[in-house]
Chain A
Amino acid sequence: MAVEPQRAARQPGSHNGVNPLQAAVSSLVGSKVPPPPSQPAMGFFTDTSLCIGCKACEVACKQWNQLPAKDPVWTGSSYDNTGALGAITWRHVQFIEQIGDGYQGDRKGSSLPDTKFEDRVAEAKSSGTIPQVPPGTALPFFNTDRWLMRSDVCKHCANAPCQEACPTGAIIRTEFDTVYVQQDICNGCSYCVVACPFGVIARDEAGTHTARKCTLCYDRMKDGMVPACAKACPTDSIQYGEVDKLKAHARERLGILHERGVGEARLYGVDDDILEGGLNSFFLLLEEPEVYNLPENPPRPSNNVVPASFWSIVAALVLGMLGIVFFRE
């Protein structure tokens, strides 16, 4: 209840002690409300080495944010029937099955043996000894098959392309340095949809017709609560906290995993300079980013404005000069 008076004071409609003219003007154009004081940057650390693919994060997110269910589809390729992040899907659990000889991924730095499963079984049969299980890896015996899971979410980029593209100012950075879409401002122009290099933000075609994505539970954060997905995660695969501390924790966790022989573990969005500032919502991966459909180092769309404008001006000057030359007698 202590929060209530403070909230009332922030309402644009309250004009106590303001002259009538100012009140009339601000009721027309909206009064300038001072932004809330800046808070430490908050974010997610999603540690895929702990994910068990339970999808509790997906469900908790849907429940808390009152997002409707999407039409059920059966992908037929894995347990992932959610498919992708979208306007009404703000957490998405991926299931990557690296099974059998068909798998050709990057095993550099991995402690896994490189021979075929059948060959190892045959070898064990002939020699009569079960080979040593590689440390910290795939379970049943000498099986190198892997089942990777990852809960995907908005990256809350330090330089967010969606926010840079937004023409209405609907997409803002909050006091927690997260990227937030103001639903009452967005007019659904969808430029953010093509700007996002991760395919996160989308226009809600069936509902609000505005652009929607993960808010990092802005409403919960304001009241000092943990976002719904992180709260629901049973294995601490999703961790929430101050970005600096989380990043330190992520590096520590990477060190532990490397020490225990999981050489293929790596961080995404922590130390690298993705979009020239890193991500506020970052990941620990057990494979190269592409395996998780993550672009290794996506170009920042707003960087294209200057070179594209330059070539436009060159073309305009040439055409203008030609026009002048041709129309002059």
Chain B
Amino acid sequence: MQETRLPQTIMERLAPQDFVERLAALTTGYTPDLQQELQEPAYYDRPVLAEPVWHWEIIWYFFFGGLAAGCYIIATIAALFGSREDRAVVRTGYYLSLLALLPCPVLLIKDLGRPERFLHMLRMFKVKSPMSMGTWSVVTFSFFSGTTAIIQAARDGLLGRWWGARLLAALPQKLIALPGVAVGFFLGSYTGVLLTATSVPLWSRSKLLGGIFITSAMSTSSALISFVLRLTNAVVPRFIVGNSLHKLERLEWAAMLIEMTGILAFLHESGRAARPLVGTAPTEHGMTFWRFCFGTGLVLPWLLQTLSLLGGRGSRRIGRGLLISVLVLVGGYFLRRTMIEAGHISSKDARTTLWNAKR
């Protein structure tokens, strides 16, 4: 009990409710005025919209899908532009991409009302529907991620020394990865576009969610790759990661900076519609969002990363590096979780929905 209480107490000290409430008002530019809102006409406060049926499956899919896309993109950039020592990044990135991708179809199919009809998704190629395009991007990306990882495995000697493995190793991995990266960027961002193309005020008022999700995919992926590289380095000292970690950390630092800017712009544009995400009312998710997504998931690791980068290569320690990675990964998960769960609250808020429809 003591252990579970402790982080809570620290959080209450660092981010008390009135502070979070002031943050919410400041970032959204909207201070809730209950009297004013009650003057607005509505029908017994019954929701205007139907509640989304998306729950934990979709949250984890968004998280893993982002990792699969981000790891693939980073690995390919390292393969095309990196040096010889960056081959550890390439290898780790391609394997992690495939690993993160594996649960995605399972989660997506489980989420359907009629899972046995999942192939009906491939009846159409509908540019107007992000759900249709997203399904196609998952299918296409599976091909690229699978192929690239198998080639990598063949080159690493994991498939043995027979002629088939030699043939696979000879395939042009970089050439295959080029279109794969484009699909990867699509996979990492379409989830945000999918949420934007709905009627839920929180998701649709600002148009930045796609950009935020792909940026978060990059920050969490560089965190995951550097986490694995650092661990491998600690366990196998011969395994040299050299300058690669430094490159990954700089990418992670920049992605986090863009992500924070994007989220602040998102909140500013959404205004009142962002309340379920940032507010502190019992139904609103602000306490979780500010503490675990924005606070310890972005601002804290970004500051730690800044210290590390300023301190030069010598001052970096394994512990701090691993901690930054874990914080970023947890923050990325909570970004998706609070966004989906606050979307449920947003869909139930009749007055804000009606306000959102006045133009």
Contact across chains for B197 and A327 when beta carbons are under 8 A apart: no
Does B166 count as interface, using CB distance less than 8 angstroms?
Answer: no
Candidates A209, A302, A326, A327; contact of B128 at CB < 8 Å: A302
Does B3 count as interface, using CB distance less than 8 angstroms?
Answer: no
Contact across chains for B42 and A293 when beta carbons are under 8 A apart: yes
Chain A, 185-225, contact with B by CB distance < 8 Å: what is the 0/1 string? 11111110111111111111100111100000000000000
Take A191-B129, A319-B215, A328-B81 as given contacts and tell me if A302 and B197 are in contact as well, using a CB distance cutoff of 8 Å: yes
Contact across chains for B52 and A193 when beta carbons are under 8 A apart: yes
Contact across chains for A322 and B207 when beta carbons are under 8 A apart: no
Contact across chains for A198 and B48 when beta carbons are under 8 A apart: yes
Contact across chains for B114 and A315 when beta carbons are under 8 A apart: no
Describe B's contact surface by its main secondary structure.
helix
Does A104 count as interface, using CB distance less than 8 angstroms?
Answer: yes
10 A-B pairs, CB-CB below 8 angstroms? A185-B120, A186-B117, A190-B54, A195-B198, A210-B113, A293-B48, A293-B354, A295-B357, A315-B211, A315-B262
Alpha-carbon gap, A295 to B190, bound state (A): 27
Question: Which of A108-116, A133-141, A254-262, A306-314 makes up part of the contact surface?
Answer: A306-314
Does A94 count as interface, using CB distance less than 8 angstroms?
Answer: yes
Task: Count contacts between A and B, CB distance < 8 Å.
Answer: 248
Contact across chains for B48 and A168 when beta carbons are under 8 A apart: no
Contact across chains for B46 and A293 when beta carbons are under 8 A apart: yes
Contact across chains for B121 and A187 when beta carbons are under 8 A apart: yes
Give A residues with C-beta under 8 Å from B: 75, 77-78, 80, 83-84, 86, 94, 96, 104-106, 161, 164-170, 185-191, 193-205, 208-211, 287-288, 290-299, 301-302, 304-305, 307-316, 318-320, 322-324, 326-329
How many Å from the CB of A213 to the closest CB on chain B? 10
Alpha-carbon gap, A105 to B40, bound state (A): 8
Contact across chains for B247 and A326 when beta carbons are under 8 A apart: yes
Contact across chains for A304 and B196 when beta carbons are under 8 A apart: yes
Take A189-B112, A315-B262, A326-B247 as given contacts and tell me if A297 and B199 are in contact as well, using a CB distance cutoff of 8 Å: no
Take A199-B50, A320-B73 as given contacts and tell me if A187 and B210 are in contact as well, using a CB distance cutoff of 8 Å: no
Take A291-B43, A293-B350, A298-B199 as given contacts and tell me if A308 and B114 are in contact as well, using a CB distance cutoff of 8 Å: no
Question: Which of B141-149, B251-259, B281-289 makes up part of the contact surface?
Answer: B251-259
Question: Which of B8-16, B94-102, B130-138, B168-176 makes up part of the contact surface?
Answer: B130-138
* Closest A-B pairs by Cβ, 7 of them: A188-B113, A295-B357, A312-B210, A209-B113, A315-B211, A187-B117, A167-B132
